[in-house]
Structure 1
Amino acid sequence: MAGWVPRIKLWSSDGSTELYTFPLVQNHNAPQTGKKLIRKTNFRSQGEIIIEGGETPWEVTINFILTGSEYLDIASAIETLESKVPLNTAFLLKINTTASNYFGGANGYKIKRLLPILYPNRNKDLMNTKQDVTIKLQVNSW
C-alpha cells in the first residue's frame, strides 16, 4: 500500500458524516485498553476471582500542526477547528489501522471534547506559516 498514510478523523455521533481530518499528526496516545477488571478475593485468602467490568473512560491526546501561507490561513484553520469540535458534543473518532479498519472497531471511539484546545509555541511560531495544536478528547464519555 505505497502512498497510504493513516488518518485520524472526527465523525458525527451516528457515523454518517465525516466532520474533520486532523492534519499533520505528530503524536497520539491511542489505542488504550478501556476495560476495567474487578478482583474479588476469598475471605479465607484462598485465591481470587477476576470479573471483567465495563469500559472505563480515558483521554486521547492528539498533537498536530496547522499550516498556511500566512497568518490569515492559520487563523481561519483555528476557527474551523474550534467550530467543528465544540465542547461537550458527542463524536466518533476513527484512527486508521489500515485503509478501511480502525482502532476501537468499525465505529472507532466515542468521544467528547471537555477541555480547551491548546496552541503551544504561539510566541515562537507567531501563526505565520504553522501552528502547533494539542487536543485532548475524553473516550467512552457517552
Structure 2
Amino acid sequence: MFQLDDNFLQEVGLGSLPDDQKQAFLAHFREQLEMIVGTKLSEGLSDQQLGEFESFIDRKSDRVSAWLATNAPNYEQDAVYQQLRANAPDNVPADVLLAEYASLKWLGMNRPNYRDVVAQTMNELKQEIIANRDAILGGDASAA
C-alpha cells in the first residue's frame, strides 16, 4: 500500500534529516498513522467487534483460530493468506501470520473501506508535514 522509507521522507521534504532522526521521525509517523486510523475505524463498532479485532492484534491464538474456523475455514486456499505466507520472512511464527491474516479478513468484512481510510489519513498527515516542514527541519537542526 505504502512505504515509510527514505522515498517518503524525500516526498514530504524531509530527506535531509540525519539518519538517526529519519528513523525516529518514521517511527513517530507510523504511530500517529496507526492511532488516527484505529480511531476512525473503531467508530461505530460494538464492544464485541472491538474485542474480536483486539484479539488479533494481541495474537490470542485460541480466539484467532476460533474466528477463522467460523469466518474463513478454508483460509489456506485464500489468495490473501497465500500471499502473506509467501512474503513473510522464514522466521515468522505461524500464529503471527494467522493473526495478520485474520485482521485483514476481519477488516474486509467489518470495515471494507479501511484502505480508503488509511490512504486518506496518510494524505492528510503528509500534507500536515509538508506545511510544517520548515519548522520540523528547523527544530531538528537546532537540536543537533
Structure-2-length-normalised TM-score = 0.23
- Greater per-residue strand proportion: 1
- Greater per-residue helix proportion: 2
Q: With CA pairs under 8 Å and 6+ residues apart, which has the higher RCO, 1 or 2?
A: 2
Structure-1-length-normalised TM-score = 0.23
